[in-house]
Structure 1
Amino acid sequence: MPTGLDLEEGKEGGSWLGINKRGKLAALTNYLEGRPNPDAQGRGFLVSNFLTDHSQDSYSYLKRVSSERHLYNGFNLLTAEFKAKEDTMCYYGNRGNTEPIHLNPAGIYGLSNSLLETPWRKLLHGKRLFTSVVNQPLPCEVLVQDLLNVLNNEELNTPDPAQESQGEGYSSPMLRVLSSVCVRSPHYGTSPTNWLSHLSCCACHQRTNTIILIDSSGNVTFTERTMLNCDISQWSTSSFQFKLKD
């Protein structure tokens, strides 16, 4: 179940976040860099290809992707497999180390438009908000709403020399806009914050918010909130539930 399709001309298809009934999950963020290659391959297929691949586990898939790192503009890719006996979570960023890494599936990690856990101010702020929510024993409906509130936090986190250094070539006003967890700009498609923990995965898009909750019994709640008519005051929310296959 992907949460969106890449509609960029010439690179249609793919997604930035998805999960299937076999417990495979993938999430993608772009890497902030000044001069992306317009002829590079579309990154969205890195998500959809993993979800439809029946032969490779999380690490093996990222290992293959790492051998083709030069074909893409900067990206971060998280892959996970949620199973009854053991969960697996891995990460690879093609602007960092050449090898993927295994993550502790019981941990909480912050990922923006830099490498995993790069301490941008917005990342640290969002991670604090996220952690305060998931550390509470909340009913599912309340948990989803509180996580949606995190995704829609528009507080600016400036100045941030680390983000500004990586974003050399961007205007100061644009970097200021990009300093919030949820980016609201007519010229920007996605908010650069994805969060993963053993309980939930959240991704924020200017027009779409997605919450994925997975409990210890393999029950999945997939909630998506979509902006209507490009109007920030109009949203449609849908939710699906399914159980992971053994």
Structure 2
Amino acid sequence: MCTLLLAYRAHPRYPLVLLANRDEYYQRPTARASFWEDAPQLFGGRDLLHGGTWLGITTTGRIAALTNYRDPADLVRQGLSRGRLVSGFLKGVEDAEGYLECLRAAAGPFGGYNLVVGTPMRLHCYSSKTDEAVQLEPGIHGLSNRLLNTPWPKVVRGTQALKRALGAGEPDLEELFAILADRTHPPDDQLPDTGVGLELERLLSPIFIESERYGTCSSSVLLVGRDGEARFVERSLEQGRWSEAAVTMDWSAVLNGE
């Protein structure tokens, strides 16, 4: 996952609106979003290379999402797949604070990452680069391959677009997907310098990335209403064609604190 936009307790009828793009090599084997046979409560896509995921939800209202932290040093490190950090929370029963504390104590051999875990009413974001976890404040947040709300052009553009979309009243699914499909390249003088070189910074700068071998492979929207209805829609690239998977869950118990 490389771009994550969240409206967290920022809309009168939707306590959570989550938008996410996963950027990956097109040839990496991936299963589109579905319920997992080995974890029937979990709905999400699956990395078929290592078995984890980048974004998922459960029938009990658990949410987890991951973005990598861009650091050239991580490209030469050998480590475990970060996708198992997402599935580990979704398969477990510990609350977000307990799960993140276990991660910090274990300090496994992972490349840099940011992990968002919790429920629609209580979300936490942990960065392995700072070893700090924060509880999200109500508002609109953006996360790419740096720290939460680092003002990269794609993060600023995405959060502003999400704010406009929600300001119109009822969120429109196609308008939300249009935010994730934004291919705008910012000027060079607005690009971050993460040590990967200007050409790659340009390639990775839009919300939706396209290149010969690497780019945005899936776009997902999660809408959680105050009535407890959670609607998850994923559009994913499979063998050069886009397909859609969707599910609706009842999370009223989570929203009511049961």
Give the alignment's TM-score, normalised by structure 2: 0.76
Tell me the equivalent position of 2:230: 220
Between the aligned partners of 1:74 and 1:101, the Cα distance in structure 2 is 17
Tell me the equivalent position of 2:87: 48
* CA apart distance, 1:161: 5.8
* CA apart distance, 1:185: 2.0
Alignment of 1:135-154 (within 5 A): 135-138=167-170, 143-154=172-183
Give RMSD over aligned pairs: 1.8
| Letter aligned with residue 243 of structure 2 | S
Tell me the equivalent position of 1:4: 45
Q: What is the aligned-residue identity percentage? A: 29
Structure-2 change in CA distance of 1:172 and 1:99 (3 Å): closer
* CA apart distance, 1:19: 0.6
Tell me the equivalent position of 2:133: 100
- Which whole-Å deviations, capped at 9, do the CAs of 1:126-156 have from their partners, x for residues lacking one? 1111111122212x6xx21111100010001
Between the aligned partners of 1:7 and 1:245, the Cα distance in structure 2 is 32
Structure-2 change in CA distance of 1:102 and 1:242 (3 Å): same
Between the aligned partners of 1:100 and 1:177, the Cα distance in structure 2 is 30
* CA apart distance, 1:178: 0.7
Is the 2:220–2:232 contact (alpha carbons within 8 Å) kept by the matching residues of 1?
yes
Alignment of 1:64-79 (within 5 A): 64-69=102-107, 71-79=109-117
Matched position secondary structure for 1:3:
strand
Between the aligned partners of 2:58 and 2:252, the Cα distance in structure 1 is 9
Between the aligned partners of 1:80 and 1:50, the Cα distance in structure 2 is 9
Tell me the equivalent position of 2:203: 177
Is the 2:68–2:112 contact (alpha carbons within 8 Å) kept by the matching residues of 1?
yes
| Letter aligned with residue 98 of structure 2 | S
| Letter aligned with residue 95 of structure 1 | K
Is the 1:210–1:222 contact (alpha carbons within 8 Å) kept by the matching residues of 2?
yes
Structure 2, unmatched stretches of 5+, are 1-41, 254-258
Is the 1:26–1:51 contact (alpha carbons within 8 Å) kept by the matching residues of 2?
yes
Is the 1:126–1:181 contact (alpha carbons within 8 Å) kept by the matching residues of 2?
yes
| Letter aligned with residue 187 of structure 2 | T
Is the 1:16–1:27 contact (alpha carbons within 8 Å) kept by the matching residues of 2?
yes
Tell me the equivalent position of 2:244: 237
Is the 1:3–1:17 contact (alpha carbons within 8 Å) kept by the matching residues of 2?
yes
Counterpart among 157, 160, 167 of residue 125 in structure 1: 157
Between the aligned partners of 2:252 and 2:162, the Cα distance in structure 1 is 28
Between the aligned partners of 1:6 and 1:38, the Cα distance in structure 2 is 20
Tell me the equivalent position of 1:192: none
Alignment of 1:188-199 (within 5 A): 188-189=214-215
Matched position secondary structure for 1:129:
helix
* CA apart distance, 1:90: 0.4
Tell me the equivalent position of 2:185: 156
Equivalent residues, number: 211
Structure 1, unmatched stretches of 5+, are 190-205
